């Protein structure tokens, strides 16, 4: 009582969480487009996934630039004289640009119907796409003073979320294609399972940590943030789709699509909660 607490603002706002979601989808769709060169079942998704991935890259890039308080200075991160290679953001910017160039070349190869070049560029684009969730996760991991963020599994979690989100969109795009649905069901099941295992690991270690971890665990599991993280992210967006996909209904097209929708909602909620909740406690310090 009578205390004077200075409330600080959070560093990164919800726009960044939307960016995480969009860029995860972008990477996931790029994986699917690459997968179409390896597996015939995914062939109908090749162009849709490639175009979708590029469109989401544009949206994500605009979100990222719009989130800067000096948006016109975004070119500074591409200036070799300014770049600081100890910052994950610098690597991320280079990764995004390289992925954008590879995506454009890949789309051109698809339009020209050049199979050999298309396959090569799909591989290059998928490898660069892998860097997108890795860098976004690493972007959080390097902040060692923040509970939850400071775990080395964060990039792995973001890769799993990207695969799950991409597979979910793929399941929706695949429509009545039974072969594609069957494969995407497997992808959804395993990637969502991986997300669940990593979340259990993060929550477990957070709950066993010091006071900052303990308080952050409380923030993440109670109130509105608890509803978003546990309710939508874990229960509705991770556990429910796994249960659904394992049930007989989950082998039907409607079941896979429903699971995909849940995974998308869960992926968005998880990214929001993982970004915002660990910042709440810091605002009180």
CB 158 within 8 A of CB 136: yes
Q: Which is nearer to another protein, 22 or 256 (by Cβ)?
A: 22
Q: Which is nearer to another protein, 139 or 250 (by Cβ)?
A: 139
Q: Which of 211, 237, 233 is nearest to 220 (CA)?
A: 233
How far apart are CB 215 and another protein at their closest, in Å?
A: 4
Is 207 exposed, middle or buried (CB count within 10 Å of its CB: 0-12, 13-18, 19+)?
A: middle
- Residue 194 CA to residue 191 CA, distance in Å, equals 5
How far apart are CB 234 and another protein at their closest, in Å?
A: 20
CB 199 within 8 A of CB 62: no
How far apart are CB 136 and another protein at their closest, in Å?
A: 13
Q: Which is nearer to another protein, 208 or 249 (by Cβ)?
A: 208
| Cβ partners under 8 Å of residue 194, min gap 6 | 160, 163, 164
Q: Which residues contact another protein (rule: CB under 8 A)?
A: 1-9, 11-12, 67-70, 73-74, 76-77, 79, 82-84, 86-90, 93, 139, 142-146, 211-212, 215, 218-219, 222-224, 279, 281-285
- Residue 158 CA to residue 162 CA, distance in Å, equals 6
How far apart are CB 159 and another protein at their closest, in Å?
A: 21
Half-sphere exposure of 12 (CA within 13 A, CB side): 23
Q: Which of 155, 146, 186 is nearest to 170 (CA)?
A: 186
Q: Which is nearer to another protein, 256 or 274 (by Cβ)?
A: 274
How far apart are CB 158 and another protein at their closest, in Å?
A: 16
What are the CA-CA distances from residue 245 to residues 158, 164, 169 (Å)?
A: 21, 13, 15
Tokens (6 digits) for 139: 């972007």
Q: Which is nearer to another protein, 79 or 116 (by Cβ)?
A: 79
Q: Which is nearer to another protein, 5 or 116 (by Cβ)?
A: 5
How far apart are CB 4 and another protein at their closest, in Å?
A: 5
How far apart are CB 139 and another protein at their closest, in Å?
A: 8
Q: Which is nearer to another protein, 2 or 113 (by Cβ)?
A: 2
Q: Which is nearer to another protein, 4 or 248 (by Cβ)?
A: 4
CB 126 within 8 A of CB 104: no
How far apart are CB 21 and another protein at their closest, in Å?
A: 18
CB 123 within 8 A of CB 177: no
Q: Where are the alpha helices (DSSP H) in 113-153?
A: 115-141
């Amino acid at each position: 009582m009578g205390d004077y607490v200075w409330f600080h603002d959070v560093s990164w706002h919800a726009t960044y969480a939307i960016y995480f979601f969009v860029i995860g989808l972008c990477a996931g769709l790029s994986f699917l487009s690459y997968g179409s060169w390896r597996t015939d079942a995914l062939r109908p998704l090749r162009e849709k996934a490639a175009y979708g991935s590029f469109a989401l890259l544009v949206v994500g890039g605009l979100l990222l630039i719009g989130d800067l308080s000096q948006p016109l200075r975004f070119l500074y991160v591409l200036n070799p004289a300014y770049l600081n290679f100890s910052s994950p953001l610098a690597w991320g910017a280079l990764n995004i640009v390289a992925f954008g160039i590879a995506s454009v070349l890949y789309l051109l190869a698809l339009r020209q119907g050049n199979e050999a070049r298309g396959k090569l560029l799909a591989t290059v684009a998928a490898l660069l796409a892998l860097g997108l969730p890795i860098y976004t996760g690493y972007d959080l991991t390097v902040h060692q003073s923040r509970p939850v963020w400071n775990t080395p599994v964060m990039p792995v979690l973001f890769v799993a979320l990207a695969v799950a989100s991409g597979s979910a969109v793929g399941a929706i795009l695949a429509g009545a294609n039974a072969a594609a649905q069957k494969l995407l069901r497997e992808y959804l099941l395993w990637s969502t399972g991986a997300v669940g295992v990593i979340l259990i690991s993060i929550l477990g270690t957070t709950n066993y940590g010091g006071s900052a971890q303990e308080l952050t665990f409380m923030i993440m599991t109670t109130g509105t943030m608890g509803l978003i993280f546990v309710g939508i992210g874990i229960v509705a967006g991770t556990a429910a789709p796994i249960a659904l996909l394992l049930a007989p209904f989950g082998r039907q097209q409607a079941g896979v699509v429903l699971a995909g929708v849940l995974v998308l909602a869960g992926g968005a909620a998880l990214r929001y909660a993982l970004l915002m909740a660990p910042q709440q406690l810091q605002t009180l310090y």
